[in-house]
Structure formats: C-alpha cells, structure tokens
Structure 1
Amino acid sequence: QPTPTAQTAPAVAPSSPVAAKPPVVAAKPDPAPVFQSPTVIPPPERLALPGQPLAAVEPGLLRDSPYGPIPRLSADRKRAPWQVYAAPFDAPDAKPRLSVVVTGLGLARDVTERAIATLPPQISLSFSPYAAETPNAVAAARQRGHEALLDLALEPESYPRIDPGPATLVGAYSGADNVARLDWVLARAQGTIGVVAQYGPSFGASAMAMAPIAQALRERGLMYVDNQASEHPAMMRLSRDFAVPWAFANAAFDPGSADEAATLVATLHQLEKASTVQRAMLALVPVSPVAIQTIAAWAKTVEPRGFALAPVTGIASRQDERDVGRK
C-alpha cells in the first residue's frame, strides 16, 4: 500500500452505519453591536504589525509516523507542543478574555496571505490539511506570531453524501483507523498547537469514538478546539480523563448570511457581552475577505474597551463548561 501523501489519507473500510443527530441551531446574534465594521479593506501600508515569531520547531517534540513527522510530548513528558508553540500572552485574570480562531486557511493563497499579514498575532489560525500551501503557510503564520492549528473533520450528518475529505474521522471505523487519520492530518505541518473540530454532531458526542482521539492528542501534547456541533460534546469529560487542554466555540459564525460583515460584528459583540460573566469566550470564523477585514478592525478596539484579546491557548481549559450547548 502506498504511503499517504498530502492528497491521500489512510483508507479504511466501514463496518456499520452511525446514526447522526440534527445539528445544533445557533442563537440569533444580538442586533446592537458597539463596533461598526469598515467598508474598505485596509491597504497594505495599514497591515497589522507582526508579532514575535513563535518558538522554533523542536526535533525532540516530533516523532516519525507513516505519514511524516507528528508532534509528541518531550521524553520526560513535561513539555507539550501546545505550550511550547503557544503565542506569548499575559493579561490579568480580571479581564474578560476574547479569542477568535479563523479556520479553513491554506486553500486560497491570496486570502491566506492576507489573513496572516493583516490579522493581529493574537488571532489564532487553523489550516486545511488538504491544501498544498499549508506547510509554508503555517510557517509564515508562526513567523508573524500566530498560533497555528489544523482543521479536523469529524463525520458530518448525512455522511458520505456530505464528505469533508478522505481524512474525515468516521464513527464506523475503528479507533486505530481514526487515529491514523488524525496522524495524517498532524503530519501536514509542523509547529501546530492543536486541532479544530469541523462538522461531527454524532461523532463528537460519542465517548467511544472520541476516547482514542483524546488519548492520541494527550500523547501528542496538543489542544482540542470543539466547534459545538454536538450539544453534549464527549471531549468535555474526556479532556479531564486524559488531561487534554481544550476550548469550545461559544459562537460558530455562519458566513452564508446576506450581510456577512454586520452579522459577524453582531456575533463578536454578543461574545463581548457574555464575557463579562463567563470571562473567556471563543468564536470560530471561516476565512473570507470580509471576515479578515472585519476581525482586523474589531481587534483594534478590544483592548481599549477593557477586554483581553487572547490566542486560543490563552483560554485553554478556562471556559465555563455550563455554557456548553448554549452556542
């Protein structure tokens, strides 16, 4: 069997179908934002200043796999990639923390380059494992101070009619097969701090399906970011059992609205209001030119208004778990 490449994920045969739950419907955003989106993309001379380059990839935090080098804990198990490659962040605990992860990067070069150059380093970036540009784009993002993650597709509703790609984790496959697919994704780029779940209402709710993934992420020293496709994500309990740092999306923005900028601003405003009680909030935002310009402009207003703009590691395991299921 040929070694998988960036276009070829591990192939496995399903043994039984898996029932899927209906997707969670997000609440309507607050219609009264305090920040108004710009209508013009900032010209190159107004690009965000780069942050401090992140720590260089360490050979001691890599191990071989059939698909290429993947992350691992240090030999003494005291150092984990998610901590070593985290962006510098220091904010008083009293300040509400707002985190944004932009997903789907790498597939379009111009949009990816604009996101890396325009967004402030506190915005974490997640990359598609299928894009040929991803290894170089991750390196460029880390050079500008962005934490880098990889998109990880969990079996969507109506799979395989809806098929996110050959490395999708599927409930009918064995734990070993799904871990192999996870490793294929992780081998696509080095220096990442974790994965961001995509799709997966049924898979993400299954402790049986997610337990091998949780154990693998622990051994690889990585963080898990849940998209709350499931109202009761299994990783909430598993993260404690396996000591996996995690975060969950309080808002997963849908870019399909008629007025994308206004809807995104309203979503971010909703997170701001909730953060005064919950203290740490996360939005997952699919990449688009409108999303980039909107987030870049909004980010400039966050600190002056009393919030801390945090990379996703800055809210790791800090969110109020009672908020899960209320996206």
Structure 2
Amino acid sequence: MSANDLNQPLRNRRPRSTGRGPTGIVIPAVVTLGCVLAALALIWVAVVDDPAGGRFQAVVAIADASPDNTASIGKAPAEADRPGRAAAPAAGTETGPDLAAFAGSSASPAFRRAGSQPLPELLESSSFGPLPRISGDGLRPLDAYARSPAGSVAGAGPNSPRIALVLGGLGISQTGTQQAIQTLPPDVTLAFAPYGSSLDRWVTRAREDGHEVVVQVPLEPLGYPQVDPGEHTLLASAEPDANIRDLHWSMGRITSYTAVMNYMGARFASEEPAMRDLLAEIGGRGLAYIDDGTSPGSVARRVGEETGVPVVVADKVVDAVRSKDAIAKELSALEALARRRGGVAVGVASAFPTTIQALAAWIPEAEARGISLVPVSAALAR
C-alpha cells in the first residue's frame, strides 16, 4: 500500500459549503429552539419541584406472576399416580392429638406436622449445619416429622400385625437411592448415611413422597480401627465432648428426621457411659434412637427406659444374606413374629438392589395377607 492510497479518501472529499443556503439557515434555528426548550424545562423543574423531572408517571398494581399451583412443574403423572404414594401434608398442617400418641409423645402441644421442608422453629444453627431441636412450645422433631398413622393402620385393630421396615445406607449410591424412593411405598422408613452426596435433594424427595427419614451415625465396632465405619466415628473411649462434636457432624448433614440410627457400633453400644451421653443428646433434641439389633450386648433399650429417651430396637436384619430367597425367608420370619406379638415387628435392611427388589415384591403380598406396613415411629407405641 502506497502513501497515495492512504491519502486518496481525503483528496476525494467535497469541500464544505460556506454559503448561506437553506441548510445554513435551518441548523442555527433548530439549535436555538432546542436551547429555549431546555431552558423552559429547567425553569419548570425549579418552580414545580417535580422529583421525576417532568416525566409522566403511572401507578399500577403488579400482580404475583407465580402460578396458583406447581402442577405444571411437578412430577410426571406416572410418578405422582404410583399406587400407595401419598403426598406429604403442607407445613403447619393440623393432624390432631393421635399423632402425638402414635409417636409416643406426651409433650407435643401444637401437633404441627411438617411437609417436605424442615420447620424453622425446629432448627438450630451450628458450624456443622442445622441441628434439630425442640421448639419453644415443646414440639419435637420426632412428632413433627413422623409419618401420620392415618393411612398406615387404617382398618387395623390395636393388636393387628404390623411391620416397620427401615432401609439404611441411602445417599451412598445415587442409583440405589433413586430406586428405593421410586419403588418402595411411603411407609418404608429411609435411613440416610452421613457420607452420601446430594443428601438435601434426596431427603426432600423422600419427604415429598411421604417417607419418614432417619439419619445414621457411625459408632465404634468391635475390632476398631481395623474395622472402621468411617470418619467422625463415635468412640467408646473418647471424651464426651469429642463424641458430641462427631455426633453433630453427622446430624448436621440432613434435616427433617425423626431419629438417629447406629451404623455398626457393637463396642460403643455395650458401653453404658458412652450410650448415656449419646442418648441424652439425642433425647434432648427431641429425637428417638433406633438400634439395628445387631449387637447382643447393646444397652440402648435399658438406658432409654431409665432416661426416658425413646428407643426402638430392631427385631431382625432381613438382608444379612443378600439373596432374594434368603431375604424372603427373613421377611416371612418377621411376619410370623408380628402375628405372634400382635403388634409391631421391626426389620432393618440396606439399600442394595437385591434387597429393594425383594422388599418391593414382598410388601403387596404381605399386605394381602393382612399385614400393615407402618413407619418406624409406630414401634414406639408397641
């Protein structure tokens, strides 16, 4: 490119007119008129003191743009219409005094029952996350988050055989957690491990489907540390404050639960001082304790009776052997126990695919034989 190429546009430009033609008259007139109008506007603002600067204003009511309901963004019809699924009631719903009796409560004056979200008055802030607490008017999380018995034992007499199933290990496997929530009816209680991921999302989903929720806490087993449940395990030899901190870590991982359930812990459960400290903290926060029944030396039931803390001890682990035939056999034994007892028998299991499939197949058959499936809180009244 030459210097002439750079200068060419300038050489081709027309010379600016200096005459007094029509353009030369109109432009000054327009500028003068604009100045006059601007001056008048300034005078108007100064005299009238209009905070909007003379702009036109209109006041209108803005309606809430949110829909009347969330049906358009809720579950697909196939999900919402699954047999046996009952939507959890909205927070603050009154359910009557029989809920307190069902959950074993004598101190639940308001009988409020939460929906899928936790009640703010039942939460305490901590460095580990929100912890459960008893509300100022005496409402316990055990009562607020317990599944209503109305649908669980409808038509069943006080001595009718009932079975409570607690499925543990939820949150560890995303596929297994989803399968459990989608497949099992809401009267199956779901126990979430503190090491799981996306726990808030899964707990909310479980609560939306009506499940009662429990949090699992790792306790020292026999053979520790060679046998290690995981980080934040409560130890029988640890100082009480250290165990409470580890307990709070697990409890702060989820919300909206009715009880704490052990994960392993044969050594810890056999040590009375350690169990007394644990149950005192759990009961003081308005929760129950579930012992999975795997430790013959557990003192949980006796300490609970002595201290007034609600304790449920499971009668049977139904999937100690993980095959469909073995699980079916254990479920039949649990059913026979419920019939002999004339009340509630409690079974625990883990969220393995084989276990979930076996439970899903057995439950409708058992109900056809007159067995009522109930949440684990029902066992507090047995």
For the criterion TM > 0.5, the same-fold answer is yes
Match of 2:368 in 1: 304
Per-residue deviation, 1:286: 0.7
> Of 172, 190, 195, which residue of structure 1 is paired with 2:237?
172
* RMSD of equivalent CA atoms: 1.9
- Once residues 147 and 173 of structure 2 are traced to their aligned partners in structure 1, the CA distance between those partners, rounded to angstroms, is 25
> Of 264, 271, 274, which residue of structure 1 is paired with 2:337?
274
> Of 259, 266, 287, which residue of structure 2 is paired with 1:201?
266
Point out the more displaced range, 118-127 or 231-240: 231-240
Residue type of the alignment partner of 2:334: L
Whether 1:84 aligns to 2:155 is no
- Once residues 158 and 253 of structure 1 are traced to their aligned partners in structure 2, the CA distance between those partners, rounded to angstroms, is 24
Whether 1:162 aligns to 2:197 is no
Give 3-state SS (helix, strand or coil) of 1:202's partner: helix
Residue type of the alignment partner of 2:326: T
- Once residues 70 and 140 of structure 1 are traced to their aligned partners in structure 2, the CA distance between those partners, rounded to angstroms, is 20
TM-score of the pair, normalised by structure 2: 0.68
Question: 1:205-255: per-residue Cα shift (whole Å, max 9, x none)?
Answer: 111110111110111111111012321321112212332222111111345
Kindly indicate whether the alpha-carbon contact (under 8 Å) linking 1:81 and 1:192 is maintained by their aligned counterparts in 2: yes
Per-residue deviation, 1:97: 1.4
Q: Structure 2 vs 1, CA of residues 253 and 94 (structure 1 numbering), >3 Å: closer, same or farther?
A: closer
Kindly indicate whether the alpha-carbon contact (under 8 Å) linking 2:260 and 2:282 is maintained by their aligned counterparts in 1: no
Kindly indicate whether the alpha-carbon contact (under 8 Å) linking 1:204 and 1:229 is maintained by their aligned counterparts in 2: no
Match of 2:303 in 1: 238
Match of 1:60 in 2: 121
Give 3-state SS (helix, strand or coil) of 2:266's partner: coil
Match of 2:132 in 1: 71
Question: 1:39-63: per-residue Cα shift (whole Å, max 9, x none)?
Answer: xxxx989955422225231111111
Point out the more displaced range, 298-307 or 148-157: 298-307
Whether 1:253 aligns to 2:309 is no
Whether 1:262 aligns to 2:322 is no
- Once residues 276 and 83 of structure 2 are traced to their aligned partners in structure 1, the CA distance between those partners, rounded to angstroms, is 40
Per-residue deviation, 1:191: 0.4
- Once residues 163 and 270 of structure 1 are traced to their aligned partners in structure 2, the CA distance between those partners, rounded to angstroms, is 31
- Once residues 80 and 215 of structure 2 are traced to their aligned partners in structure 1, the CA distance between those partners, rounded to angstroms, is 29
Residue type of the alignment partner of 2:247: L
Match of 1:9 in 2: none
Per-residue deviation, 1:113: 0.7
Kindly indicate whether the alpha-carbon contact (under 8 Å) linking 2:301 and 2:312 is maintained by their aligned counterparts in 1: no
% identity of equivalent residues: 30
Give 3-state SS (helix, strand or coil) of 1:101's partner: strand
Per-residue deviation, 1:256: 4.3
Kindly indicate whether the alpha-carbon contact (under 8 Å) linking 1:197 and 1:226 is maintained by their aligned counterparts in 2: yes
Kindly indicate whether the alpha-carbon contact (under 8 Å) linking 1:87 and 1:145 is maintained by their aligned counterparts in 2: yes
Match of 2:85 in 1: 50
Match of 1:291 in 2: 355
Match of 2:92 in 1: none
Residue type of the alignment partner of 1:274: L
Residue type of the alignment partner of 1:277: R
Kindly indicate whether the alpha-carbon contact (under 8 Å) linking 2:207 and 2:213 is maintained by their aligned counterparts in 1: yes
Count of paired positions: 273
Residue type of the alignment partner of 1:179: I
Match of 1:314 in 2: 378
- Once residues 50 and 307 of structure 1 are traced to their aligned partners in structure 2, the CA distance between those partners, rounded to angstroms, is 18
- Once residues 121 and 217 of structure 2 are traced to their aligned partners in structure 1, the CA distance between those partners, rounded to angstroms, is 24
- Once residues 271 and 340 of structure 2 are traced to their aligned partners in structure 1, the CA distance between those partners, rounded to angstroms, is 30
Residue type of the alignment partner of 1:82: L
Q: Structure 2 vs 1, CA of residues 45 and 177 (structure 1 numbering), >3 Å: closer, same or farther?
A: closer
Kindly indicate whether the alpha-carbon contact (under 8 Å) linking 1:53 and 1:145 is maintained by their aligned counterparts in 2: yes
Per-residue deviation, 1:263: 0.7
Give 3-state SS (helix, strand or coil) of 1:309's partner: strand
Gaps of 5+ in 2: 1-77, 90-113
Whether 1:190 aligns to 2:255 is yes
Q: Structure 2 vs 1, CA of residues 111 and 46 (structure 1 numbering), >3 Å: closer, same or farther?
A: farther
> Of 278, 285, 309, which residue of structure 2 is paired with 1:213?
278
Gaps of 5+ in 1: 1-42, 319-327
Match of 1:105 in 2: 170
Q: Structure 2 vs 1, CA of residues 242 and 62 (structure 1 numbering), >3 Å: closer, same or farther?
A: farther
Q: Structure 2 vs 1, CA of residues 48 and 131 (structure 1 numbering), >3 Å: closer, same or farther?
A: farther
Residue type of the alignment partner of 1:108: S
Q: Structure 2 vs 1, CA of residues 293 and 48 (structure 1 numbering), >3 Å: closer, same or farther?
A: farther
Q: Which has the larger radius of gyration?
A: 2
Kindly indicate whether the alpha-carbon contact (under 8 Å) linking 1:150 and 1:192 is maintained by their aligned counterparts in 2: yes
Q: Structure 2 vs 1, CA of residues 116 and 248 (structure 1 numbering), >3 Å: closer, same or farther?
A: same
